[in-house]
Amino acid sequence: MGTCFAQTHFQDKALAGVPQLLEDLKRLAEDHESADIVFLVGREDVPVYAHRIILMARCKSFQTAKRGEICRIPGCSVAPAVPGTPTPVRLPHFQGDTFQQFILYVYTGKIILQDSGVFEMLSLAQELGVEELRAACEDHVTSTLSALNACTFLAAALEIQDRSACGKGTKSFVERCVAYIGENASECVKTNSFLNLPKDALIRLISSDCLALEEEDVWRAVLAWAKYQAGVTQPTAHWTEEERAHVCQHLAGVVGHVRLLLIDSQVFAEEVEPTGAVPMELSLERYRYAALPNKFRERSEDKRLQPRVSLKLFPGSSILVDEKTSYQRLLNSWFGSPKQVWQLVFRASKHNYSAEAFHRHCDGVAPTYVIVMGGRGEVCGGFSDVPWGKTNTKSHYIQSERAFLFTLINGNNQESSPTKYDIVKKPYAICYHPECGPIFGAGADLFIANNCNSNLESYSNLPHSYGGENASCNSLMGDYNFYVYDYEVFTPVGK
């Protein structure tokens, strides 16, 4: 559930009367006879009583009201009051029980925040202008977000976002929840909060490109959700027709967001089709894709053909993030293992830009990816299946059969496609030099200088030991010499 207590314990004798004051204010909040405001909350017009003088002291929406106005709450309507009765303020977009807790906080400064209602409370704090409560709600989400409650937060945030008058401010939290669940998908889909997701929240989640699951596992998670919603516990082969109908009813509108064309043919035949949830035209399309994949690949804009990005292939990278996350899969395809996860060995901005720091962390480690970011956002690097390491000589070349260089984003042409440059002169694949960072090729095709963030001594002399179509000294970083903003070295987990 996750709770957050916003209350104060007073030990100073000068504040000894505060606990009793808070009790008196709590009693005042419950005193309908003296109230001069009545909020009619939600579709049921749940009455919640309050005192305008307290609201003016605590809520900016009352403090900023002009002469003749009661308040300035977006989406509210104020009706004329019968003499001697509280002024009615209608708030149709909030929930009565949550608003009652909000009013109690306004009077006493005490609240217990629940995961399922924190975004409703956040919206109330924003719309009525109670800054310290808004901050407490944001802190609750940030500090308690976990695999166990991320889906609960997502559902709550989406519910608030869909309300016309009080949904602003939650969009960033929706995106944060989707990103968190995406990165921790294998843990999140096993939780009860995932199984209890409303259908619209599930669709929002599985529509994301950043969901760290293979498509077969996306399907299995969706099927588990539908079975839970339908109250079905038996395997597909043992369903009754009634159970099948209930599961398919829940899957309706969801199946189209699973990228069925990417599911393994055997899994599709053994696990997907037997549910009866996939329309015939989609099944036929799936088999046509299996038979003629190249024809389908011409439809590059079709989202169903685009693999999801696993955010954990290069965990810890500060370069392959945001819009560059998709390059993680590309690097794995060049490596030859699409599901490989990598471990961060070295980051210059963390461990130091000196050659000594690079060799201290990276010598003897193989295979490795070196990923370099330039000062204008360029991204390039190299792969080596052999390690850097000392010998009796100060510097020496090391042979490799598989080394290559690559560019992901070029400084001169950021619209150009990522390109791989294979080793041509294998005896000169990499070079060890204790006074330099990573060196690829004689020449050198890619040279990272000592303290490369404070000089322009890094350079690329491609093509020399490496080559490829249109290879030039400008191919990697856009210029012969360049400044390095940061660079990282990764090695495979489990190697």
What would the DSSP string read from start to end of 51-66?
A: -HHHHHHH-HHHHTPP
Q: Which is nearest to 466 in space by CA: 406, 417, 418?
A: 406
Claim to verify: residue 247 and residue 375 sit in the same structural domain: no
Claim to verify: residue 300 and residue 332 sit in the same structural domain: no
Answer whether 195's CB lies under 8 Å from 228's CB.
yes
Residue at a domain's end among 112, 128, 144: 144
Question: What pLDDT, in 10s, does the model give residues 153-188?
Answer: 999 888 877 764 455 556 778 888 888 898 888 899
Q: Is residue 221 part of a domain?
A: yes
Claim to verify: residue 295 and residue 399 sit in the same structural domain: no
Confidence at 448, pLDDT banded by 50, 70, 90: very high
Count how many domains the chain has.
Answer: 3
Residue at a domain's end among 249, 271, 305: 305
Strand, coil or helix: what is 379? strand
Alpha carbons 42 and 120: distance in angstroms, whole number: 12
pLDDT score, position 77: 92
Q: Is residue 385 part of a domain?
A: yes
Residue at a domain's end among 255, 271, 305: 305
Please report, for the domain that includes residue 140, its CATH number.
3.30.710.10
- Mean of pLDDT values over 386-409: 90
Q: Which domain holds residue 26?
A: 18-144
Confidence at 126, pLDDT banded by 50, 70, 90: confident
Claim to verify: residue 354 and residue 479 sit in the same structural domain: yes
Q: Which is nearest to 61 in space by CA: 74, 51, 50, 48?
A: 74
How close are the terminal C-alpha atoms of the chain, in Å? 39
Answer whether 481's CB lies under 8 Å from 465's CB.
no
pLDDT score, position 311: 57
CB-based contacts of 300: which residues, under 8 Å, 6+ apart?
none
Token digits of residue 463: 């093509």
Q: Is residue 240 part of a domain?
A: yes
Alpha carbons 417 and 346: distance in angstroms, whole number: 27
More reliable by pLDDT, 401 or 168 = 401
Half-sphere exposure of 161 (CA within 13 A, CB side): 16
Judge whether residue 25 has pLDDT over 80.
yes
* pLDDT averaged over every residue in the chain: 89
pLDDT score, position 321: 83
Q: Is residue 1 part of a domain?
A: no
pTM of the model: 0.58
Alpha carbons 28 and 366: distance in angstroms, whole number: 70
Judge whether residue 253 has pLDDT over 80.
yes
pLDDT score, position 414: 55
Claim to verify: residue 388 and residue 301 sit in the same structural domain: no
Claim to verify: residue 135 and residue 242 sit in the same structural domain: no
Claim to verify: residue 135 and residue 199 sit in the same structural domain: no
Q: Is residue 259 part of a domain?
A: yes
- Mean of pLDDT values over 34-44: 94
Claim to verify: residue 199 and residue 61 sit in the same structural domain: no
Q: Is residue 44 part of a domain?
A: yes
Helix H or strand E encompassing 344: strand 342-347
Q: Is residue 8 part of a domain?
A: no
Judge whether residue 459 has pLDDT over 50.
yes
- Residue 282's φ and ψ, nearest 5 degrees, are -70, -40
- What residue type is assigned to position 368 of the chain? T
Token digits of residue 126: 């924003």
Q: Is residue 156 part of a domain?
A: no
Claim to verify: residue 28 and residue 128 sit in the same structural domain: yes
Judge whether residue 349 has pLDDT over 90.
yes
Confidence at 342, pLDDT banded by 50, 70, 90: very high
Judge whether residue 95 has pLDDT over 70.
yes
Claim to verify: residue 272 and residue 327 sit in the same structural domain: no
Helix H or strand E encompassing 380: strand 379-384
pLDDT score, position 164: 47
Confidence at 300, pLDDT banded by 50, 70, 90: low
Percentage of the chain beyond pLDDT 90 is 61
CB-based contacts of 446: which residues, under 8 Å, 6+ apart?
372, 380, 381, 382, 405, 438, 439, 440, 460, 462, 476
Claim to verify: residue 263 and residue 293 sit in the same structural domain: yes
Claim to verify: residue 88 and residue 210 sit in the same structural domain: no
Alpha carbons 10 and 12: distance in angstroms, whole number: 6
More reliable by pLDDT, 285 or 39 = 39
pLDDT score, position 440: 98
Answer whether 87's CB lies under 8 Å from 38's CB.
yes
Token digits of residue 491: 């090695």
pLDDT score, position 384: 98
Q: Which is nearest to 440 in space by CA: 424, 416, 418, 455?
A: 424
